[in-house]
């Protein structure tokens, strides 16, 4: 049984209004690409096959350390979050899976599976949470104020490990096959923790989680330069993260969150190095101007996103063997989260489609001939190509909307759920 949240007639009538313009744009782009020897249908097919997971926490309004301003019709729990995720997928057709966060999304796994099935959704990597205290969880009475997997107290470390094992068990019940571990452990002052001993403690805990991974599971560790710790962070950069993945073993991989690097760091080069090391596990897509801003993907620096995809495509078969997970990790403070996630998923596919257009034979020749101008022009030419109609074609072929944000607004979904879901009061700082 399916229970899709948007009436298909809304999509049909919105598409009907736009179809003449869309057809003309698609035909013109097809001709343009044909002149360069590219068959537009092959790009459309690749785009249709490319999917990305949405984060359950992304459909609620996020916040900053200062305040949270809830929007109308916010989902009250994981079931309503899944409804919102289904809207995103129904209109955009590129986000068939959801990444859950435990304990935020904990509920009866069988009911969760049924609900997801009815919405034609599945589950991507699970996320554990030992970066905040869980006063309502009888299994986690100890505080993570001074860390979790690297904590000085063995009892806290054990509790954090146990929580991760719980998350894996929960994930198994709903068909997930990976866990992402991001922790806030670190220190605020020089001398507060012993840098060497705390890393050894972290590794010992991570090994205990790794040892309990089911046969077909992977663990993704996620680095982040700083925050909430402001002097040292235990998994602070991709070097440490690679070390961890190599220490743990073949089921351990590095997750690259685009917002977790020092400003101006060459993220695409990190991606390339992780591919070389066969340790690229996946992505948390978002965008940022200053730090871990968690803005909509591609909203600040779409060229950087394109360059990341350029590395992925350049890797060819090596990437197929790695099969990295594609997930969004964003926080929406001033937009409707559904609209932001639709837009991000679309921008991710856009960068992918543009990267597919790079003339790789020509690029290699320019590189080998030491022609930086033409090599960079070769990338720029692909990046400048407006692939909007390819993205729309991919959506239409799968029953989605030509303009998913317009169709979403036309559906009145937010107004409808705002009546069903009571208003939430704003207040103090939020996280993630
Ligand atoms: C905190 O920085 C964070 O945004 C990490 O990127 C995690 O992936 C996310 O929260 C969810 O735990
Ligand atoms: Mn992340
Ligand atoms: Mn983050």
At residue 424, the pLDDT reads: 82
**Sign of the alpha-carbon torsion through 140, 209, 229, 58:** negative
Query: Considering every ligand atom, which ligand is closest to the CA of 228?
Result: 1
List the 126-127 sheet strands across, edge first: 126-127, 178-181, 218-222, 252-257, 280-285, 325-328
At residue 427, the pLDDT reads: 74
At residue 423, the pLDDT reads: 84
Among protein residues, the one whose CA lies closest to atom 7 of ligand 1: 182
pLDDT band at 6 (very low <50, low <70, confident <90, very high): very high
Separation of 258 CA from ligand 2 center, angstroms?
A: 8
Cα 275 to Cα 321: distance, rounded to the nearest angstrom: 10
pTM above 0.80, yes or no: yes
CATH topology classification for 52-358: TIM Barrel (3.20.20)
- pLDDT mean over 17-37: 98
Among protein residues, the one whose CA lies closest to atom 8 of ligand 1: 182
Query: Is residue 1 over pLDDT 90?
Result: no
Cβ(105) to ligand 1 under 6 A? no
Cβ(284) to ligand 1 under 6 A? yes
pLDDT band at 429 (very low <50, low <70, confident <90, very high): low
pLDDT digits (tens, 9 = 90+) for 181-206: 999 999 999 999 999 999 999 999 99
Coil, strand or helix: which one is 280?
A: strand
Separation of 329 CA from ligand 2 center, angstroms?
A: 5
Task: Collect all residues with Cβ–Cβ distance below 8 Å to 374 and sequence separation of at least 6.
Answer: 362, 366
Among protein residues, the one whose CA lies closest to atom 2 of ligand 1: 432
Residue 99 gets which letter from DSSP? Answer: E
Q: Which of 78, 73, 117 is nearest to 411 (CA)?
A: 73
At residue 371, the pLDDT reads: 98
Domain ranges within the chain, ordered by starting residue? 52-358
- Ligand 1, from 59, 125, 183, 224: best to mutate by most atoms within 8 Å of Cβ? 224
Cβ(125) to ligand 1 under 6 A? no
Q: Which residues of 230-245 are buried (b: 16+ CB within 10 A; e: fewer)?
A: eebbbbbbbebbbebb
Cα 355 to Cα 371: distance, rounded to the nearest angstrom: 20
Separation of 273 CA from ligand 1 center, angstroms?
A: 23
Q: What is the mean pLDDT of the chain?
A: 96
Among protein residues, the one whose CA lies closest to atom 1 of ligand 1: 432
- pLDDT mean over 128-146: 96
On the 0-12 / 13-18 / 19+ scale of CB atoms within 10 A, 413 is buried
At residue 318, the pLDDT reads: 92
pLDDT digits (tens, 9 = 90+) for 322-369: 999 999 999 999 999 999 999 999 999 999 999 999 999 999 999 999
The rounded percent of the chain whose pLDDT value lies above 70 is: 98
At residue 428, the pLDDT reads: 66
Say if residue 228 is preceded by a cis peptide, omega within 30 of 0.
yes
List the 122-123 sheet strands across, edge first: 54-55, 97-99, 122-123
Separation of 410 CA from ligand 2 center, angstroms?
A: 32
Query: Is residue 431 over pLDDT 60?
Result: no
**What value of ipTM does the predicted structure carry?**
0.99
pLDDT band at 145 (very low <50, low <70, confident <90, very high): very high
Separation of 257 CA from ligand 2 center, angstroms?
A: 5
- pLDDT mean over 126-136: 96
Q: Which residue has the higher pLDDT, 20 or 427?
A: 20
- Ligand 1, from 129, 182, 185, 286: best to mutate by most atoms within 8 Å of Cβ? 182
pLDDT digits (tens, 9 = 90+) for 409-419: 999 999 999 99
**Residue 207 Cα distances to 64, 126, 161, 203, 213, angstroms:** 33, 18, 9, 6, 10
Q: Are 220 and 125 in contact (CB under 8 A)?
A: yes
At residue 62, the pLDDT reads: 81
Separation of 181 CA from ligand 2 center, angstroms?
A: 9
Cα 220 to Cα 255: distance, rounded to the nearest angstrom: 6
Query: Considering every ligand atom, which ligand is closest to the CA of 131?
Result: 1
Q: Which residues of 86-109 are buried (b: 16+ CB within 10 A; e: fewer)?
A: bbbbbbbbbbbbbbbbbbbbbeeb
Cα 9 to Cα 6: distance, rounded to the nearest angstrom: 8
Q: Are 218 and 178 in contact (CB under 8 A)?
A: yes
Coil, strand or helix: which one is 60?
A: coil
At residue 188, the pLDDT reads: 98
- pLDDT mean over 236-263: 98
Cβ(222) to ligand 1 under 6 A? yes
At residue 432, the pLDDT reads: 54
Cα 126 to Cα 297: distance, rounded to the nearest angstrom: 21
Cα 305 to Cα 287: distance, rounded to the nearest angstrom: 9
At residue 61, the pLDDT reads: 85
pLDDT digits (tens, 9 = 90+) for 266-292: 999 999 999 999 999 999 999 999 999
At residue 66, the pLDDT reads: 87
- pLDDT mean over 5-21: 98
Task: Collect all residues with Cβ–Cβ distance below 8 Å to 162 and sequence separation of at least 6.
Answer: 139
Cβ(127) to ligand 1 under 6 A? yes
Centroid of chain to Cα 76: 22
Q: Which of 132, 138, 199, 151 is nearest to 431 (CA)?
A: 132
pLDDT digits (tens, 9 = 90+) for 97-107: 999 999 999 99
Task: Collect all residues with Cβ–Cβ distance below 8 Å to 215 and sequence separation of at least 6.
Answer: none
Other CB atoms within 10 A of residue 118 CB: 14
Coil, strand or helix: which one is 339?
A: helix
Coil, strand or helix: which one is 207?
A: helix
Cβ(432) to ligand 1 under 6 A? yes
At residue 197, the pLDDT reads: 98
Cα 424 to Cα 413: distance, rounded to the nearest angstrom: 18
Among protein residues, the one whose CA lies closest to atom 3 of ligand 1: 432
At residue 63, the pLDDT reads: 81
**Sign of the alpha-carbon torsion through 374, 380, 384, 390:** positive
pLDDT digits (tens, 9 = 90+) for 33-79: 999 999 999 999 999 999 999 999 999 988 888 888 989 999 999 99
Query: Is residue 214 over pLDDT 60?
Result: yes
Other CB atoms within 10 A of residue 250 CB: 10
């Amino acid at each position: 049984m399916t229970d899709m949240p948007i009436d298909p007639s809304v999509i049909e009538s919105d598409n009907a209004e736009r179809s003449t313009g869309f057809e003309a744009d698609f035909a013109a782009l097809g001709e343009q690409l044909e002149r360069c020897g590219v068959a537009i249908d092959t790009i459309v097919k690749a785009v249709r096959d490319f999917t990305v997971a949405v984060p359950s926490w992304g459909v609620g309004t996020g916040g900053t350390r200062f305040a949270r301003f809830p929007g109308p019709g916010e989902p009250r729990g994981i079931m309503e979050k899944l409804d919102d995720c289904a809207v995103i997928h129904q209109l955009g057709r590129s986000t068939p899976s959801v990444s859950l966060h435990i304990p935020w999304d904990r509920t009866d796994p069988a009911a969760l599976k049924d609900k997801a099935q009815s919405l034609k959704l599945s589950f991507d990597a699970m996320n554990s949470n030992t970066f905040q205290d869980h006063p309502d969880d009888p299994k986690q009475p100890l505080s993570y104020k001074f860390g979790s997997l690297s904590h000085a107290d063995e009892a806290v470390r054990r509790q954090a490990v146990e929580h991760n094992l719980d998350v894996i068990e929960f994930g198994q019940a709903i068909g997930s096959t990976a866990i992402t571990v991001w922790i806030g452990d670190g220190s605020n002052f020089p001398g507060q923790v012993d840098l060497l001993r705390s890393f050894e403690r972290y590794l010992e805990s991570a090994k205990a989680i790794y040892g309990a991974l089911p046969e077909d599971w992977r663990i993704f560790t996620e680095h982040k330069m700083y925050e909430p710790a402001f002097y040292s962070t235990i998994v602070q950069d991709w070097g440490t993260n690679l070390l961890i993945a190599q220490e743990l073993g073949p089921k351990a991989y590095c997750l690259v969150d685009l917002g977790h690097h020092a400003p101006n760091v060459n993220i695409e080069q990190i991606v390339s190095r992780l591919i070389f090391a066969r340790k690229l596990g996946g992505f948390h897509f978002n965008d940022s101007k200053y730090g871990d801003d968690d803005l909509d993907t591609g909203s600040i620096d779409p060229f950087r996103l394109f360059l990341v995809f350029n590395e992925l495509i350049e890797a060819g078969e090596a990437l197929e063997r790695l099969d990295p997970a594609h997930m969004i990790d964003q926080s929406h403070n001033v937009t409707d989260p559904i609209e932001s996630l639709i837009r991000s998923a679309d921008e991710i596919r856009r960068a992918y489609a543009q990267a597919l257009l790079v003339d790789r034979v020509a690029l290699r020749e320019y590189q080998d001939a030491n022609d930086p101008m033409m090599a960079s022009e070769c990338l720029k030419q692909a990046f400048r190509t407006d692939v909007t109609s390819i993205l729309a074609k991919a959506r239409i072929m799968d029953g989605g909307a030509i303009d998913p944000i317009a169709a979403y607004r036309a559906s009145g979904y937010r107004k409808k759920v705002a009546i069903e879901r009571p208003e939430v009061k704003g207040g103090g700082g939020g996280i993630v």
